[in-house]
Structure 1
Amino acid sequence: MKKNSVISQEEKKGSAAFQVFGFTNKIRRLSAHLELHKKDYSSQRGLRKILGKRQRLLAYFSKKNRVRYKELINQLNIREIKR
């Protein structure tokens, strides 16, 4: 997945959408790592921390811009947050 396909040119590195994209890539990479190394508890903890960060950021983003939030979760193929 390329950044250009998800993040527009106007959005900077500090934007919520860019950060969600980065966290999603880290989550996918760590998930693949944990499939091979099931007892890597440090990575499991890191994955849970990143999941929490992304969840909080998505909650913020859904309050600020609901339309862009819907587009983002569809493009990244992630589930909507629970309210």
Structure 2
Amino acid sequence: MISLITNQTNTGSVEMQVFFLTNRVNGLSKHLKIHSKDYASQRGLLKILDKRRRLLSYLLKQHPERYDLLVSTLGIRPLKPARSLTKTKS
């Protein structure tokens, strides 16, 4: 699948965006292991992770089979199930 992702010319697809964001996350993680007090990079990493989470959430809702394939190919953790905001009676 990674070869399919890298050969794809549609850089606007959700899969390509998640692939590029994952590469940026990996690079920033390596940087932060060396420079642990670089708070600007930590903030940037959190913003990238949030954007990737939103894209994965969209993909999970619209195309669950593509989501499963992408998560397994990139080796990232799947999303946690959404919590219900309604209160349950005890």
SS in 1 for 2:12: coil
Identity among equivalent positions (%) equals 48
Taking structure 1 as reference, are residues 6 and 28 closer, same or farther at Cα in structure 2, changes over 3 Å only?
A: farther
Q: Structure 2: which amino acid aligns with 1:49? A: K
TM-score by length of 1: 0.89
2:85 is aligned to none
More displaced 10-residue stretch of structure 1: 20-29 or 7-16? 7-16
Instruction: Report the CA distance between 1:6 and its aligned residue.
Output: 4.4
Report which of the two structures shows the higher radius of gyration computed on alpha carbons. 2
1:28 is aligned to 26
Considering only aligned residues, what root-mean-square deviation do their CA atoms show, in Å?
Answer: 1.8
After the TM superposition, which residues 1-83 of structure 1 pair with which residues of structure 2 at under 5 Å, given as runs? 5-7=3-5, 9=7, 12-83=10-81
Do 2:2 and 2:73's aligned partners in 1 also have CA atoms closer than 8 Å? no
TM-score by length of 2: 0.83
**1:15-47: CA deviations, max 9, x gaps?**
000000000000000000000000000000000
Structure 1: 5+ residue stretches without partners: none
